[in-house]
Amino acid sequence: MKRILLSVAALLVLAPGGDSEATERYADQTGKGCSFCHELGSGGPLNEVGLAYVRNDYRYPIPERILDKAAVLRSPLHRTLRSILGYIHLVAACILAGSIVYVHVFIRPAQLRGGVPRGERTLGLGCMSTLTATGIYLAWYRLDSPSSFLASRFGVLLLVKLALFAVMITLAILAVTVVSRTMRRRAALPGGAPADATGVTRENLGSFDGTGGRPAYVLYDGAVYDVSGSVKWPGGAHFRKHLAGRDLTGDLAGAPHGPEVFSGLPVVARLDESPGVGAAAGPGGARRIFVAMAWTNLVIVLLILACVSSWRWGVPVPQDRAEGAQMREAACADCHAGEDPGIYHDWKRSIHAKVGVGCIDCHETFGDSGSVMASGDHLEHSPVPVTALVTPGRCGACHGEQTGQYARSKHAHTLEITEKIDSWIIHGLNNEVERATGCYACHGSVVRLTVDGRPEPGTWPNVGVGRVNPDGTLGSCTSCHTRHRFSAVEARRPEACGQCHLGPDHPQVEIYDESKHGAIYHAEGDSWSWRADDMRWLAGRDYRTPTCASCHMSEAAGAAKTHDVTERLSWELQAPLTVRPEEFAPFPAALSWREERSKMAAVCLQCHSSGWTLNHFGNLDRVIENYNENYYRPAREVFDRLYASGALSADMYFDEPLEWEFYEFWHHEGRRARMGAAMMAPDYAWWHGFYELKHRYATFMEEAERALRSGRDVRFDEIPGTLQR
C-alpha cells in the first residue's frame, strides 16, 4: 500500500501542469491585458472570455458561439460541477495510472499467476468508470460539437486521448474477464495457483514468515494456508514451536490435533509434491496474453500522458496553417513593408497580426470555390492568385455571425432601397461620374470584372455599405472597420458613422453632436475605455453616454449585440410617409416594431429611468403623427392632384420645380424634423426641421394651387440659364 501511495504521489507531482509563462505568452497572442481572461487580474479566476479563450484552444479571435456557451458555463452551478468532477477525474486518473505503474515496477505482471487480484480489479474498473462518466461532461464543457475535435489542437489531442482510453478499457475488460478467468481456472489445477495466488513457490515459501509486515503462510499436504489473521499464529509463530514459511506436513503427525485446524483458513496456493514445481509453472498461454495486455496498457498510459503534456506544454503538433502558407505570408510582409509602409504598419498593429491572420488569409483566391470570387485581381508578382477585392464572404470565414447579421441589415441592401425610394436620382438626375464619386461612395457600387478578372474602373475602388460583390455578397466590412487596422474602437466612435450619415437629408452625426449625448462625448470621450479587455463594451463601466454603435449595435441587458442596424427601430424615418419597419415596402423588417422598441428601450434604461424612456418614445410617436397627418398627407394629396390634372408631367422626374419642392419637403426637412426628435437634438427638430418644413410646405402649397388653377407648372427648360441634364 505504501508503494501504491508513493506512485500516485509521484504521478501527481510529475503530471503536466500549466505554463508558468502563460499570462505573458497569451497576452502577446491576443494583444490584451490580464483582465482580458481573469476577473481579478493576473492569477485571478477565469472570466467568461477567459473560459472561451481556453475552449478555443488559446486562439484569438473567439467565435461568438463559443463566447455564448462560455457565458452559460460560467454559472455557479456549472463552475461548481466542473470543479468537483474535474477533481474526481484527476484523482481517478492518478490512481489508475499509479496502480498500473506500481504493478509494472514493483510486482511485474509475470508474477500474477492467477490474473488480476480482486482488489486491484475492483479499483481499476471503478477508476475507468469514473473517468468515463466525468470525461463525458468535461469534454462537453470544452467542445461544442463533434466537428470541434478537428477544429483545434486540443480537440485533436483529446480525440487521440479518447481513442487510446477506449483501447485501454477494451484490454482491461478482456484482462479481468476472459483472460483472468482462464488463468484462475488453470491455476486451480494440480501444480497451478488459484485466483488470488501471490506467486508463492516451494523456493520462496520461507519469505512468507509473518515478520516485517509480510504475510504468514504454511504448507500442508500441497496446500498453502494463510495464517496471518489467526490468533494462534501471532508474529508468524505457533506456540513458539512452529514457524510460518515452512512445510508442516510432517510436523502435524506429532501434534495434539489433526488437519481439521486448517479448515476455514484461506488457501492461497496449491503446490504439488515435486520440489520446484508450483505457481511458477503458470497457466501457460493465458499468462503470456495477460502479460502482453499489461505492458500494452502501460504504453497507453504513457501515450495519454504525452497527449496531455503536448496540450499543456505546447509540444509541436501539426498546425492549422501549412508551412508554405506561412512562407508566403512572410514574403508578402517583406515586400509590402517597403513598398506600402502604411498598409504594412496598419496590419502590424492590428489584432489580425497578433493572432496570425496575414495577407494570404484575406486576399488569396480559390478558383471556382466562390469563397471570394471566381476570378480576381491576380497580381503578377504574387506566388498565388490574390485579389484586392475582399468581401464579407471572406471575412465570414472567421466572423460568420457578424457577417450573417450584416447580410440581413438595411446597410447591406441600401442599393436596393435607394432604387425603390430615389430611383430618379440613380437614373437620369445625375451622370455616371457624379454617381461614382458621390452616391456609390456610401451606398456602394455594383462591382463588375473585366475579362482578365480585374475590377472594372468606375465600379471600383468602392467600400460602400451596400456594395454588390462579384461573389454575390453585399457590402464591405471596411466601411466601418477601415483597412488594414480593422479596429473595433474606430467603429465604436460616431465619426465612423458620420462618414455617410451627414448632410441635408440624413444629418445624424450633426444631430448627435448637438445632443446631450454628443456634448458629453466631445467633452470626455478621450478618457473612456474604448477597448474593453473582456470584449464587452458596457455602459457605465466603459463609457458614460452612448455613441451610434452603443444604441444600434452594442449589447445591453435585454438587447444582444448585433451587426444588423435594422434592429431596434420602431419607425422608418427615411420613408416619405413614416411607417413601421415591417410595413416599409422597399425592405420590410422581419420582426415586430414592439419587439425592436423593447430592445432600444433596454439600451436607454442603462442610464435613464423607465418613466424618462417611455415619455421619450411617446413624444417621438406624437412627432411622427404630427408630420404624417399635418404635413405629408396633405402635401401628398395635392401632389397627386397635380399629376392627375396634368399640371405636372410624368415624363421625367425633376424636370419641374414643384417636383424638387416636394422631394426636398420630405427628403430633407421632413427627415431632419423626425430624426432630430428621435435623437434629442432640439435645433434640428425645430429650426432645421419643422420650421423649414413649414416654410417649404407653405411655398409648395401656394405654387401647387397656382399650377392647378393654370393647368400647368413651369418646367426647368423654360427657365433661362437652367442647367440641362
Half-sphere exposure of 295 (CA within 13 A, CB side): 8
**What nine digits make up the cell of 507?**
444629418
* Eight-state DSSP code of residue 636: H
Instruction: Answer whether residue 198 shows pLDDT above 60.
Output: no
- Asked if 181 and 252 sit in the same domain, the reply is no
pTM, to two decimals: 0.61
Q: What is d(CA 657, CA 324) in angstroms, rounded to the nearest whole number?
A: 65
Give the angle subtended at the CA of 140 by the CAs of 51 and 56, to the nearest 5°.
Answer: 40
Which residue in the block uniquely carries the three cell numbers 430633407? 668
Instruction: Answer whether residue 149 shows pLDDT above 50.
Output: yes
**What nine digits make up the cell of 12?**
501527481
In this prediction, residue 336 carries a pLDDT of 85
pLDDT band at 19 (very low <50, low <70, confident <90, very high): very low
Instruction: Answer whether residue 240 shows pLDDT above 50.
Output: yes
**Is residue 341, in this structure, part of any structural domain at all?**
no
Q: At what angle do helices 671-678 and 692-710 cross, to 10 degrees?
A: 160
Start-to-end Cα distance in the chain: 100
**Is residue 523, in this structure, part of any structural domain at all?**
no
Instruction: Answer whether residue 721 shows pLDDT above 60.
Output: no
Q: What is the pLDDT of residues 599-616, one digit of tens each?
A: 999 999 999 999 999 999
pLDDT (average), residues 109-129: 73
Segment among 52-66, 161-175, 611-625 with least mean pLDDT = 52-66
- Asked if 293 and 161 sit in the same domain, the reply is yes
In this prediction, residue 173 carries a pLDDT of 83
pLDDT band at 328 (very low <50, low <70, confident <90, very high): low
Backbone phi and psi for residue 327, each to the nearest 5 degrees, phi listed first = -65, -40
Instruction: Answer whether residue 572 shows pLDDT above 70.
Output: yes
| H-helix or E-strand spanning residue 516 | helix 516-524
Instruction: Answer whether residue 450 shows pLDDT above 90.
Output: no
Instruction: Answer whether residue 376 shows pLDDT above 70.
Output: no
Indicate the average pLDDT of the chain. Answer: 80
| H-helix or E-strand spanning residue 224 | strand 223-226
Strands across the sheet containing 267-270: 217-220, 223-226, 267-270
pLDDT (average), residues 318-337: 63
Q: What is d(CA 264, CA 261) in angstroms, rounded to the nearest whole number?
A: 8
pLDDT band at 139 (very low <50, low <70, confident <90, very high): confident
In this prediction, residue 371 carries a pLDDT of 35
Which residue in the block uniquely carries the three cell numbers 466542473? 82
- Asked if 149 and 260 sit in the same domain, the reply is no
- Asked if 556 and 705 sit in the same domain, the reply is yes
Q: Which residues pair with 661 in a beta bridge?
A: none
Range of the domain at 685: 533-718
- Asked if 714 and 663 sit in the same domain, the reply is yes
- Asked if 146 and 292 sit in the same domain, the reply is yes
CATH code of residue 234: 3.10.120
Q: What is the pLDDT of residues 485-497, one digit of tens each?
A: 998 899 999 999 9
Q: What is d(CA 554, CA 528) in angstroms, rounded to the nearest whole number?
A: 15
Task: Compare 516 and 202 and report the one with higher pLDDT.
Answer: 516
Q: How many CB atoms lie within 10 A of CB 485?
A: 19
**What nine digits make up the cell of 346?**
496598419
Instruction: Answer whether residue 337 shows pLDDT above 50.
Output: yes
The number of folded domains in the chain is: 4
Half-sphere exposure of 137 (CA within 13 A, CB side): 17
CB 40 within 8 A of CB 34: no
Segment among 76-85, 513-522, 543-552 with least mean pLDDT = 76-85
In this prediction, residue 66 carries a pLDDT of 75
**What nine digits make up the cell of 215?**
504475510
pLDDT (average), residues 559-581: 94
- Asked if 107 and 218 sit in the same domain, the reply is no
Instruction: Answer whether residue 190 shows pLDDT above 50.
Output: no
Q: What is the pLDDT of residues 264-317, one digit of tens each?
A: 788 888 775 443 333 333 445 666 787 788 888 888 888 888 888 776 666 544
**Is residue 562, in this structure, part of any structural domain at all?**
yes
* Eight-state DSSP code of residue 146: G
Show the DSSP H helices in 255-313 as ranges: 285-313
pLDDT band at 20 (very low <50, low <70, confident <90, very high): very low
Task: Compare 622 and 76 and report the one with higher pLDDT.
Answer: 622
Q: What percent of the chain clears pLDDT 70, i.e. is strictly above it?
A: 77
- Asked if 186 and 237 sit in the same domain, the reply is no
In this prediction, residue 320 carries a pLDDT of 45
In this prediction, residue 725 carries a pLDDT of 38
In this prediction, residue 271 carries a pLDDT of 75
Segment among 47-51, 299-303, 470-474 with least mean pLDDT = 47-51
Does 61 sit behind a cis peptide bond, omega within 30 degrees of 0 on the bond before it? yes
**Is residue 706, in this structure, part of any structural domain at all?**
yes
pLDDT band at 694 (very low <50, low <70, confident <90, very high): very high
- Asked if 584 and 710 sit in the same domain, the reply is yes
Instruction: Answer whether residue 659 shows pLDDT above 80.
Output: yes
Instruction: Answer whether residue 678 shows pLDDT above 90.
Output: yes
Backbone phi and psi for residue 589, each to the nearest 5 degrees, phi listed first = -75, 155
Q: Which residues, including other chains, have CB under 8 Å from residue 481's CB and lie 6 or more apart?
A: 487, 488, 490, 491
In this prediction, residue 342 carries a pLDDT of 92
**Is residue 590, in this structure, part of any structural domain at all?**
yes
Q: What is d(CA 343, CA 250) in angstroms, rounded to the nearest whole number?
A: 99
Half-sphere exposure of 560 (CA within 13 A, CB side): 12
- Asked if 37 and 165 sit in the same domain, the reply is yes
In this prediction, residue 673 carries a pLDDT of 97
In this prediction, residue 377 carries a pLDDT of 43
Instruction: Answer whether residue 462 shows pLDDT above 80.
Output: yes
pLDDT (average), residues 512-517: 95
Segment among 101-115, 642-656, 677-691 with least mean pLDDT = 101-115
CB 663 within 8 A of CB 635: no
- Asked if 689 and 577 sit in the same domain, the reply is yes
What string of H, E and C letters represents the secondary structure of 403-454? HHHHHCCCCCCHHHHHHHHCHHHHHHHCCHHHHHHHHHHHHCCECCECCCCC
Q: What percent of the chain clears pLDDT 90, i.e. is strictly above it?
A: 34
What stretches of 451-548 adopt beta strand conformation (E)?
A: none
pLDDT (average), residues 412-420: 88
Q: How many CB atoms lie within 10 A of CB 305?
A: 17
**Is residue 691, in this structure, part of any structural domain at all?**
yes
Does 318 sit behind a cis peptide bond, omega within 30 degrees of 0 on the bond before it? no
Task: Compare 132 and 241 and report the one with higher pLDDT.
Answer: 132
Q: At what angle do helices 692-710 and 657-664 cross, to 10 degrees?
A: 150
pLDDT (average), residues 693-716: 88
Segment among 105-114, 123-132, 396-405, 646-655 with least mean pLDDT = 105-114
**Is residue 280, in this structure, part of any structural domain at all?**
no
- Asked if 215 and 266 sit in the same domain, the reply is yes
From residue 125, how far is each of 129, 130, 375 by CA, in Å?
A: 6, 9, 60
**Is residue 333, in this structure, part of any structural domain at all?**
no
CATH code of residue 555: 1.20.850.10
